[in-house]
Amino acid sequence: MPAVSKGDGMRGLAVFISDIRNCKSKEAEVKRINKELANIRSKFKGDKALDGYSKKKYVCKLLFIFLLGHDIDFGHMEAVNLLSSNKYTEKQIVSLSSRSSSRELFTLISLSEKWPEAFASEIPRILVAGDTMDSVKQSAALCLLRLNRTSPDLVPMGEWTARVVHLLNDQHLGVVTAATSLITTLAQKSPDDFKTSISLAVARLSRIVTSASIDLQDYTYYFVAAPWLSVKLLRLLQCYPPPEDAALRSRLTECLETILNKAQEPPKSKKVQHSNAKNAVLFEAISLIIHHDSEPTLLVRACNQLGQFLQHRETNLRYLALESMCTLASSEFSHEAVKTHIETVINALKTERDVSVRQRAVDLLYAMCDRSNAKQIVAEMLSYLETADYSIREEIVLKVAILAEKYAVDYTWYVDTILNLIRIAGDYVSEEVWYRVIQIVINRDDVQGYAAKTVFEALQAPACHENLVKVGGYILGEFGNLIAGDSRSSPLVQFNLLHSKFHLCSVPTRALLLSAYIKFINLFPEVKATIQEVLRSDSQLRNADVELQQRAVEYLRLSCIASTDILATVLEEMPPFPERESSILAKLKRKKGPGNLPDIDDARRNMIFLSQGSTPSFTDLLNLNSTPTAGASLLVDVFSDSSTLASVEVSDENFPRFVCKNNGVIFENQLLQIGLKSEYRQNLGRMYVFYGNKTSTQFLSFSSSVTCNDTLKNHILSTSSVDPIIEGGAQVQQILNIECVSDFTDAPVLNVQFRYGGTLQNIAVKLPVMLNKFFQPTEMTSQDFFQRWKQLGAPQQEVQKIFKAKHPMDTEVTKAKILGFGVALLDRVDPNPENFVGAGVIHSKNTQVGCLLRLEPNTQAQMYRLTLRTSRDSVSQRLCDLLSEQF
């Protein structure tokens, strides 16, 4: 930073503010702020003889950084010390324009670890006292808000709670704004205690929106009246259902209509600040309309307004419009209005450059899909899947599979769709998907012959995905006789086709093919000798897999000693799957004729829907507060009826899959599915845990708890309660609030206990709360990267690991994993274009740790070298261990 002279009016502060305003991205702003914080921290710690002017300058910079929304964890005592200065200008900085020094006291109370308990009971009294200055009321409200977030048990709930609601009528809009933030937070915890705030919030909102009163002049921002207060009032109203009072409801509707009308007016300024403020109020109003879901006219108008943003030049507006329309599509009042924008959404899928916007377009297509447009939407999603980013392919596959089944008027179309899905993205087709195909084919006589013919033709491709081989082996083993009359698909041709794939497959798939071969012996006696020779050869192989060898021996012996009748009985066609294995099947069998549709697994559909989006203000609109509907589970095992229960040992097999992603299924057995959806911002995180009952029987005495070792005890802030009874086929949700207090290695464990059929079930699952989840990506130039790299050159700051690649070395997959790990992927930084470099900052409550990483692949040797440098050795080692396992 440039040198500052005492007569220059704090030019250093002006330069710093100018630097921040000139930042072209959030990452650049964070980088500049971190640099300044490091400088200020060193000044406060290193130079004991700082004069009052210098302290004033640095406190001003800290105050500016704090106003930008960044946490400040030092400098408070230096600010208080300025109160003893003899110079008015230095006192003025601390008291913020001659306001009472109570403001600083409130700030210190909310930030100090020792003072909250001593002052917590006094703050509410000051807040509601009639003789308290406006500026002090404002500070008291914000102090209580901070206390409620950091030490909720210390905030007393008493008679003041009723009186604080009336601050919404205060003449000082600064007090109203602070009080609204406080009431919203408290109402989320105790809605009944603050229900009277609804009428006051509507009245205040009405005065802001429908009138141009003089008291708003000081709070008008680029021609938008009190946008921050408007947004906060609209969020407060989202804590409650629509008002029951007709007059109040009419007044609120008038406010919302006015906001929608103003959105159609020509802009009063070309400044970006004007459009930002105007759109912030508009989107929060639309959020309230969606939340109430009771006014058809408003819902349709909101949809039309969002439709105008779908082709807006601003990427953020396109993203938010798509995300909000996803929720509107689920409303019976606005679903048809959303469908009118299908061509625009499809065009966005094809031409949009931003991957996050493309993903929201996929989500919206999924949400607006119904019987009238299913084939068009599925075709477009399949087309996009071929070029989709690797990070979202699995989600798209699940959505296509669900839509294809739900709207399969013609099940030949369903079979074609799933086989096409496997061809395009076989690596992302989970077992549940191909299990479900087999389940449906077995239960529908009218599609069995077509399925056999289609998979036979698909298997003739030179390169087939292993999932296609699984489906082909199962279906031909069951229904190959339906196409055996054609010489082009004779029994021997079918067998040779399957066996040509045998040695290219994994052990589980080979085991499935051996089962198909023994089925062939029953269906086609003419190929018995040929298959027996293959079984004999496999049973005698040295170093063969034990499971395969045992199957070959048993199947060979069975084919030799069993009579034709016994063989036919043992190897008869699979019966329709009963309800105990799949309640979807029970619904399917009750349908008559191809015009009726089977129900899909609502619990799984909700899980997929809830995995959408990461924009915090809109994520909560995605059905997080609604009661999930009951539904059935997908088939777990099409070959065996295993009743083995999960061990009480901690299950961590899916833990590594969540290092680079936040959503998915963390645990599943025959009884229970546990899904996760997580969101992280700096040092805070929230994890939504979904428990799905896969049976048709109630779970009784259901409970869950999270256990941590001593170092993690303070990381889990709170957990919501779970209903002790989970109905068959139902899903319930639990929320975990997480804070990274300091760096850590171990992960918490989720313990689940319930009774099923009179038996107590105990399940323990390792939760994927990892250090890298608290990364904030940091953009850097090549010069800055390597300069910082040299600064972190101490031996204890670097961890390096050289290891063999466990997966194919795909450049796009590697990029997706590094981005999913949480750091910024820096292009054209490393002199070797084959290398990958990244940068980020780990945020914890107590500190921030910068991290630089460099991944050097050697495709010829199939090796990687991973190097991490951070300012803390324990962090370097942990991050290296987590990331290296992904490759």
Report CA-CA distances (Å) from 878 to 48, 259, 370, 869. 37, 50, 47, 11
**Residue 137 annotated in ligand binding:** no
**Residue 501 annotated in ligand binding:** no
- What is the C-alpha to C-alpha distance for residues 862 and 858, in angstroms, rounded to an integer? 6
- What is the C-alpha to C-alpha distance for residues 292 and 248, in angstroms, rounded to an integer? 14
- What is the C-alpha to C-alpha distance for residues 179 and 174, in angstroms, rounded to an integer? 9
Nearest to 380 by CA among 398, 400, 394: 400
Question: Which residues partner with 667 through β-bridges?
Answer: 674
**Residue 207 annotated in ligand binding:** no
SS (H, E, C) 551-563: HHHHHHHHHHHCC
Q: Angle at the Cα of 530 (from 526 to 532), degrees rounded to 5?
A: 105
Task: Please give the structure tokens belonging to residue 481.
Answer: 């006789």
**Residue 57 annotated in ligand binding:** yes
Dump the DSSP string for 267-305. PS--SHHHHHHHHHHHHHHHHHHHHH---HHHHHHHHHH
- What is the C-alpha to C-alpha distance for residues 851 and 748, in angstroms, rounded to an integer? 24
**Residue 12 annotated in ligand binding:** yes
Q: What's the one-letter identity of residue 408?
A: A
The helix/strand/coil state of 496 is helix
**Residue 53 annotated in ligand binding:** yes
CB 132 within 8 A of CB 166: no
Q: Angle at the Cα of 660 (from 657 to 666), degrees rounded to 5?
A: 35
**Residue 60 annotated in ligand binding:** yes
Tell me the Ramachandran region of residue 814: left when phi exceeds 0, alpha when psi lies from -120 to 50, beta otherwise.
alpha
Tell me the Ramachandran region of residue 267: left when phi exceeds 0, alpha when psi lies from -120 to 50, beta otherwise.
beta
Burial 70-102 (b: 16+ CB within 10 A, else e): eeeeebbebbbebeebeeeebbebbbeeebeeb
Q: What is the largest CA-CA distance in the chain?
A: 108
Q: Within 10 A of 624 (CB to CB), how many other CB atoms are there?
A: 13
528-539 vs 546-561: helix crossing angle, rounded to 10? 140
Distant-in-sequence, close-in-space partners of 799: CB < 8 Å, separation ≥ 6 = 867, 868, 869, 873, 876, 877, 879, 880
**Residue 59 annotated in ligand binding:** yes
**Residue 414 annotated in ligand binding:** no
Dump the DSSP string for 52-112. HHHHHHHHHHHHHHHHTT----S-HHHHHHGGG-S-HHHHHHHHTTT--THHHHHHHHHH-
| Binding site residue list | 11-12, 43, 53, 57-61
